[in-house]
Structure 1
Amino acid sequence: MSTPTSTAPPPSTQKLSNGRVISYALGDVANNLSFMMTSLFLMAYMTDIAGLTGAMAGTIYGVTKIWAGISDLIAGQTVDRANTRWGRLRPWLLWGSFPLAAVLVALFSTPASLSPAATIAWILLLDCAFQLCYSFVNIPYGSLSAAMTQSAVDRSRLAGARSIASSITGVVLAIAVAPQFGKDVLANTPEGELRLKFTIVIAIVAAVAVVLYLICFANTRETVQRPPGKVKMSETFKMIGKNQPLLVLCLGAVFLLGAMFTLMAVQMYYARTVLGGAANFIWLQLGNTVGTILIASFVPAITRKLGKRIGYVMCAMVAIVAYLIIANVPGPGADGSRSAALAVAIGAFVIYGIGVGGTNALMFSMQADTVDYGEWKSGTRAEGAAYSILSFVRKVGQGVGGWVGGIVIGMYGYTNDPARLADPEVARSVEQGIRVAAGYVPAGFAVLAALVIFFYPLTAAKHADIVRDLLARRTQASVADADSEVVDINTAGMLVAKRPVITINQQYGAGGIYVGERVAERLGVPFVGSRFTSKELESIDQAAEAEPTMNRWLWDFAHTSNADIDAAVRADAESNTRVVRQNTEEIIDHVKDDGGVILGRDATRVLAYMRGAYHVRLEAPVRVRIDRAAESAGISREVAAQRQSREDRMRNEMSARLMKYDATDPQYYDAVINTGDTSLDDVVDRIVADYRAKYPDLNN
């Protein structure tokens, strides 16, 4: 009476090859060659090479970043409509990479002969075009990971790989481009030659990006069938109006991103003026990267011990400390050396990476909770709408940050003219303005972000209640869709089984298959085995010793990134929702006619509110489980030990991510049985007797 399982996982859950993961990550290298080029260097280009004032450069930076948010909405409405032999998403990497590269080169190739007004128009229009082209590449690229696999493990690998690639790209780009903004280079290179040299550098960067996009296109595949995107503006605004936690989170995001991008916009000026050389930009970027790597390991612990809201506020306070240190690094020593200032600044940027990395990760985690809240409040689950509005708001924050940074350095009389800087008064004012823009202004923004999130209304307890309520609603909806005469909903809204239903969750080797099959036989109902066998899980990820610790770290590191990852977060959330809905419907389908005994599949959580369902957890000492698994599966104790280590953690990790519950918590079960100190047949007798005693009307 068992349900057969497949001998191999479907293509969408098979382990992705390392080559495919690396190819996907190379796409983000290409993304960040352009995204970081504009985010980190465009402001300095506009003032130091194109000759615009700081205020005008900041205004252009702000306007085009806000336009980038609108471009993301346009791209989100458009890209899923493509349906080619290559898929819905991959073709945009092919179609969009060449226009993106061409516009990027043109943006950084302002002709010297243009008038000031024409220069402003050139940069403004081309930056707007760049942002639009970038959205039409980045949105499908970010969504591609969820279309490549349904495996949570592999999606973690993809997310982590792209973030590692992004961090490395930031450092490499700093090494390649930052020296071009050196004072000596700017002062001693004829203007025409300087502009040509810069165009050549950007052309090389753009050409590399195109090659990497093409590698990503050629070596990735869309294996998960997914419907076209249905994010409607009307749906977005309807959801926003009813979702107070999302509104609070978005307001905090404006200030958080405002802080980050004020610093990013003036970071080159800071490295050159406050620290004494454009090449110091490289060390600052490296310090930031180290900080984000460090915080990734602690995000889960912060969430558990402090909660997301307090964790966010604490990380924001860390960032505030970093900003204040950045503003107050020591001046030159008696010999004119700024080595002490550089050392302090590098340390500050490590702290900065920790602070902003933590707030970024927790912001996206809180965003997922606001999606649950929106569904609970409005009855419609709108990940696309929620993530689209957060993405737009983040771009607004980026624009506000860059605009304020340009305004501030302009107010303090920023100039790169050596003759004017020879005046000590002018030089002091310029340096003070850069310190204010790089440190004090971001600190103020971060304080506002922390204050806003301190009043974030969605507590952990409230979210847990919402998740439980949503689970009951979804299960009832699946029953209604099944149109079953056997599983019903009573007048109180509770699911009612008319044949025995038992769910079994087990530790690896606790005897779940043996017990489940015999309980099913005794009660006269079907037995449904786990979705994945041990061999299938091994085929998904052979690195037992690294899973899930490494994959969890990769996932958390991906969300600490300063890069443009909004589309990927949204796509992953939507993919998880589809998996949960499919699993819920399948479980209801299994029990709707004849009841059943279901092993695993998170059936304990799905059927938590069904009257007539009995939930069992099987446990045993590790030694006993390894011996039992080795004997029953005909494998060595070493292999059984590897599977035990992998599966106990891996299955619990999947339950936490998808169904949002701790499968080891005894509160979810009617009985927690230790199969190590009794025979499995006695366990069968106990479960059958307990079930018949609790539900005597369902025994026939």
Structure 2
Amino acid sequence: MFLITFFTTKERVVPKPEQKSTIGQDLKDLFSNKPWIIMLIVTILVFVTLALKGGMYIFYFENYLDAAQIAVFLDNVGFNGFINGLNHTLTSIGLTEFKWPEDPATSGFALFNAGGIIFMIIGIGFSKTLADKFGKREVFAGSLFISTVFIALFYFYPPDAIGTVFASQILHGFFYGISTPLLWAMIADVADYSEWKTHRRATAIIFSAMIVGLKLGLTLGSSILSSILDYYQYSADLITQMPETINGIKLSVSLYASIPFFLAVVCLFAYSINKAKEQQIERDLTARRQAD
């Protein structure tokens, strides 16, 4: 995919040949760009949540959800039948079986992740249409908020409500998927805003700095995850965790994980590039380039 992107991408916005850039000037422009600062904070917060909930879900399945009910759910949705049929087909043509984990928690967790990813991809398909109609900022904030609600609800589900847990993951994945491409599209708008304000194009440093924010968010999220497990005295040697530990795991995949997403939504109220300003920037930059 990286190779396809490299060979099929064409740069449409080329800086003027006479534009001279220095690191000092780029950094000055960067830190005076309020929309960039807001999107950097949003990026960090989003990836803190992704790392925290993504790393904690397996503990939620192994230590909180009812294993017997997970097994029943996997039977009811045809998952076990699918794996058995696949293995029958493979062995009938002389191949070895597909080695799938047999414990319900691991199988359930895998299907849970797959369901979220599939519906996230479906949600991505709605992103552009909604953004064109309502604006990137509004759709990003709205879809992120709704997806946050479905994260928070994980705390309140009883351990035998497997179907509800999966439904919540699917709905979370769908609404989060709507927001996914908008994050990066809004960062491109920030680059246009920077050019609009400074008459200098600095796309590379803006996106590079956002990647730093992404990495920082993942690092913080992973660090918070391990700190929470330590605080609630999780022990891999125990067959059954203490009630306080299980409650900490529930909090981590729900209320704790929802806090950074919610803060990101709040930050977007200060993000000034709405649909009208976005269109104004596009018109002004087009006119400026044509005049050049």
Normalising by the residue count of structure 2, what TM-score does the alignment of the two structures yield? 0.78
Q: Indicate yes or no: 2:64 matched with 1:244.
A: no
Correspondence for 1:266: 56
Correspondence for 1:321: 149
Q: For residues 320 and 398 of structure 1, what CA distance do their matches in structure 2 show?
A: 18
Change (3 A) 1:453 1:427: same
* Higher CA-based Rg: 1
User: Which of 456, 470, 474 is the matching residue for 2:271?
Assistant: 456
User: Which of 218, 225, 228 is the matching residue for 1:405?
Assistant: 225
- Displacement of 1:279: 2.4
User: Which of 213, 226, 235 is the matching residue for 1:393?
Assistant: 213
User: Which of 273, 280, 289 is the matching residue for 1:465?
Assistant: 280
Query: SS where residue 106 of structure 2 aligns?
Result: coil
Query: SS where residue 200 of structure 2 aligns?
Result: coil
Correspondence for 1:255: 45
**Mapping of 1:472-491 within 5 angstroms?**
472-477=287-292
Q: Indicate yes or no: 2:190 matched with 1:375.
A: no
AA in 1 matched with 2:269: F
Q: For residues 459 and 367 of structure 1, what CA distance do their matches in structure 2 show?
A: 13
C-alpha contact 1:239 1:386 (8 A) present in aligned 2: no
C-alpha contact 1:232 1:385 (8 A) present in aligned 2: no
Correspondence for 1:435: 250
Q: For residues 5 and 198 of structure 2, what CA distance do their matches in structure 1 show?
A: 26
User: Which of 347, 360, 367 is the matching residue for 2:167?
Assistant: 347
Correspondence for 2:96: none
Q: For residues 125 and 26 of structure 2, what CA distance do their matches in structure 1 show?
A: 34
- Displacement of 1:231: 9.4
C-alpha contact 2:122 2:177 (8 A) present in aligned 1: no
**Mapping of 1:596-675 within 5 angstroms?**
none
Which structure has more helix as a fraction of its residues? 2
- Displacement of 1:146: 4.3
**Mapping of 1:86-97 within 5 angstroms?**
none
Correspondence for 1:300: 128
Identity %: 22
Which structure has more strand as a fraction of its residues? 1
Q: For residues 10 and 196 of structure 2, what CA distance do their matches in structure 1 show?
A: 27
Q: For residues 436 and 379 of structure 1, what CA distance do their matches in structure 2 show?
A: 47
Q: For residues 9 and 40 of structure 2, what CA distance do their matches in structure 1 show?
A: 29
C-alpha contact 1:239 1:385 (8 A) present in aligned 2: no
C-alpha contact 2:127 2:179 (8 A) present in aligned 1: no
- Displacement of 1:329: 2.0
AA in 1 matched with 2:37: L
Q: For residues 23 and 229 of structure 2, what CA distance do their matches in structure 1 show?
A: 37
Q: For residues 427 and 358 of structure 1, what CA distance do their matches in structure 2 show?
A: 38
Change (3 A) 1:379 1:146: farther
**Mapping of 1:515-594 within 5 angstroms?**
none
CA deviation digits over 1:61-98, x for unaligned, max 9? xxxxxxxxxxxxxxxxxxxxxxxxxxxxxxxxxxxxxx
Q: For residues 232 and 133 of structure 2, what CA distance do their matches in structure 1 show?
A: 44
C-alpha contact 2:35 2:190 (8 A) present in aligned 1: yes
Question: Could you list the runs of 4 or more consecutive aligned residues of structure 1 that deviate by over 6 angstroms after TM superposition?
Answer: none
Q: Indicate yes or no: 2:11 matched with 1:149.
A: no
Correspondence for 1:208: none
C-alpha contact 1:291 1:349 (8 A) present in aligned 2: no
Correspondence for 1:501: none
CA deviation digits over 1:328-366, x for unaligned, max 9? 2212xxxxxx3x3x2222112112212322222111111
Change (3 A) 1:464 1:297: same
Correspondence for 1:364: 184
**Mapping of 1:217-232 within 5 angstroms?**
none
AA in 1 matched with 2:156: N
Query: SS where residue 201 of structure 2 aligns?
Result: coil
CA deviation digits over 1:529-578, x for unaligned, max 9? xxxxxxxxxxxxxxxxxxxxxxxxxxxxxxxxxxxxxxxxxxxxxxxxxx
Change (3 A) 1:416 1:322: same
**Mapping of 1:325-336 within 5 angstroms?**
325-331=153-159
Q: For residues 231 and 345 of structure 1, what CA distance do their matches in structure 2 show?
A: 51
Q: For residues 254 and 226 of structure 2, what CA distance do their matches in structure 1 show?
A: 14
Correspondence for 1:290: 118
Correspondence for 1:684: none
- Displacement of 1:296: 1.9
Q: For residues 444 and 231 of structure 1, what CA distance do their matches in structure 2 show?
A: 39
Q: For residues 300 and 286 of structure 1, what CA distance do their matches in structure 2 show?
A: 23
Q: For residues 246 and 173 of structure 2, what CA distance do their matches in structure 1 show?
A: 23
Change (3 A) 1:235 1:395: farther
CA deviation digits over 1:364-416, x for unaligned, max 9? 11111111001111221111111101111111111111111221222111112
- Displacement of 1:289: 1.3
Change (3 A) 1:231 1:409: farther
C-alpha contact 2:144 2:175 (8 A) present in aligned 1: yes
C-alpha contact 2:30 2:36 (8 A) present in aligned 1: yes
Higher RCO (C-alpha under 8 Å, 6+ residues apart)? 2
**Mapping of 1:112-123 within 5 angstroms?**
none
Q: For residues 403 and 429 of structure 1, what CA distance do their matches in structure 2 show?
A: 20
Query: SS where residue 242 of structure 2 aligns?
Result: helix
Q: For residues 150 and 355 of structure 1, what CA distance do their matches in structure 2 show?
A: 28
C-alpha contact 2:141 2:268 (8 A) present in aligned 1: yes
C-alpha contact 1:307 1:460 (8 A) present in aligned 2: yes
C-alpha contact 2:47 2:221 (8 A) present in aligned 1: yes
Q: CA RMSD in A?
A: 2.2
**Mapping of 1:178-197 within 5 angstroms?**
none
**Mapping of 1:57-136 within 5 angstroms?**
none
Change (3 A) 1:401 1:294: same
Change (3 A) 1:468 1:283: same
For structure 2, list consecutive stretches of 5 or more residues without a partner in the other structure: 12-19, 68-104
For structure 1, list consecutive stretches of 5 or more residues without a partner in the other structure: 1-24, 26-140, 153-229, 332-337, 478-700
Q: For residues 324 and 475 of structure 1, what CA distance do their matches in structure 2 show?
A: 49
